[in-house]
Structures are given as C-alpha cells and as structure tokens.
Chains A and B, each alone.
Chain A
Amino acid sequence: MDWLEEELRRALAREEPPEGFERRVRQAVARRGFPARRWLAAAAVVIMAVGAGTGYREYRGRVAKEQVKLAIRMAAVSANHIQNHVRGVIR
C-alpha cells in the first residue's frame, strides 16, 4: 500500500496557486457585476410587463365602454323616436 499512499499524498499535496490567480478571480467577479443588478433588471422587466398588461386592459376597457355607450345611445334614440311617434298618434 505504500505506493498508493505515496500517490495520494502527492496528488493531495498543498500547492501554491499560480501567479496572478487571485487577481484573475477578482477581475472575473468584477466583470460579472453585482448580483443585485440582475434582480433589479428582472424586477424592471416584470414591472414593465405588468404595467403594459394593465395599460392594455385599461385601453380595452375604454374601447368596450365607448362601444356600449354607442350601442345604448343608438337603441335609446330609436326607442325614443318610436315612443314619440306613438305619443303623436295617441294625441
């Protein structure tokens, strides 16, 4: 077993990192940026999507409201016109 122990000791022996390793790690972290920024970007996208959805719903609601007002107006004018006709006949 001596050869195996020797191999393990060699493989697991403490080694100093190559020169500039720490600097390269710090640079890589700096390039990735602050993680909170990603969350902020994701939150901004969600807020924009919700805002756009709400705006579209508002727009559709206004269109539906105007259509209902127009339909009721046309029905009301026709009903009023006929009612006046009938009253005219009765008089």
Chain B
Amino acid sequence: MKRLPILLFCAALPNLVWAQQLKLNLDQLAAKASEHVDLNLNSSTLQFAAKFLDADDPDEAQIKKLITGLEGIYVRHFSFKGVNSWTQADLDAIRAQLRPPEWTRIVGVKSEEDGENDEVYLRTIGNKMAGVAIVAAETKALTVVQIAGPIDLDALAALGGHMGVPKLKIPETKPKKDM
C-alpha cells in the first residue's frame, strides 16, 4: 500500500508533462498552406542546442540567455496563398486550452480592417510565470507559439528586429483593442 502513491504519481506523470504542451491539432491547415513550419523543441533539445550557440555572437548570445531555463518551444506556422484559409474553429480549439486559472490572456488585438487577430497568453503556476502562448492570425498566415518556462517577453520582442528580420512598422490603421 505504501507504493500506491508512487505508482499513482508515475501513472500521472505523462499527463503532467503533456499538460505543459498545448495540443495544436492544426494538421488540416497544413494541406492548404503554401508554407508550413512545425517545430517541437523540448528541454533536452534546447539544452543541447545551447551548447552550440556562439556566446561571442550578439544574437546567439541573446538567444542562449533567453532559452536558459526553458522547458520547451513549440511552433506552428502556416502561410497561405489565399485569404481566410483558417477558421475561427481552428483558433477556438487552441483558445479552449488557454483557460484560467492557469492561463491568462494579457493581450488581445483584433483588427477587422486587416483581418488580424493577435493574442498573448501567460501561464502562471502559483505566482511564478510558467510559460507564454502567442496566437497571431492574419488573413494569409497563422502562427501559434508556445514557450514553456519563464521567458522575458520584452527581450523576445526586441529580437524581432534582429537576426536579419526587419522590425515591423506600426500599422497605419487603428485596430480595435479587446483588452
């Protein structure tokens, strides 16, 4: 009987690990997409990759700093040739997993004019930040990023203008802000 709690813990362990990763069932979009990126990087892959990041390279040093302590990075990105290739149901399936009390939506931007729908969710356990989920839906693209573990969002956003990627300009249109 003494072993029962240990056995129960072992049985629940896969579910606890799975709970950290969102179920991003977006395979149906892959068939429609002109470009599709699917990245699943767990803790061991991140640690392994960190050994190969050059500390003398400013960008790589920044990435190394960002991924330290992370448990995983999961990315799904779809680019489409046509508009409205993704549906609200696709987003709702993701949103359904990003619910309180574990997840809190910290940013929600919806632009009817651009057809954009961007959301940032924060995962907290106790008082500690445990992860971030970014859902960026545009008319011709859909990106879902989940970062498991504590991450500096400002530092991450600052990298958006580095690594050969031009910094995005502030849109001219006035989007409607949800939050």
Contacts and interface: CB of A to CB of B under 8 A. Distances in A.
Tell me, yes or no, whether A binds B. yes
A87 interface: yes
A48 interface: no
Contacts of A74: 37, 39, 75, 77, 143, 145
A71 interface: yes
Contacts of A89: 109, 174-175, 177
B48 interface: yes
A78 B143 contact: yes
Interface in A16-73: 60-62, 64-65, 67-73
B177 A83 contact: no
Nearest to A80: B160
A80 B157 contact: yes
* A: contact size bracket: 20 to 34
B153 A79 contact: yes
A58 to B, nearest CB: 8
Contacts of A72: 63, 66-67, 73, 156, 159
Contacts, number: 127
A89 B109 CA distance: 9
A68 B73 contact: yes
A18 to B, nearest CB: 67
B93 interface: no
A69 B163 contact: yes
26 contacts: A64-B49, A65-B49, A67-B39, A68-B41, A68-B50, A68-B63, A69-B63, A70-B39, A72-B73, A73-B163, A74-B39, A75-B145, A76-B158, A76-B163, A77-B168, A78-B118, A79-B160, A81-B118, A82-B107, A82-B109, A85-B109, A85-B111, A85-B116, A85-B170, A85-B171, A88-B170
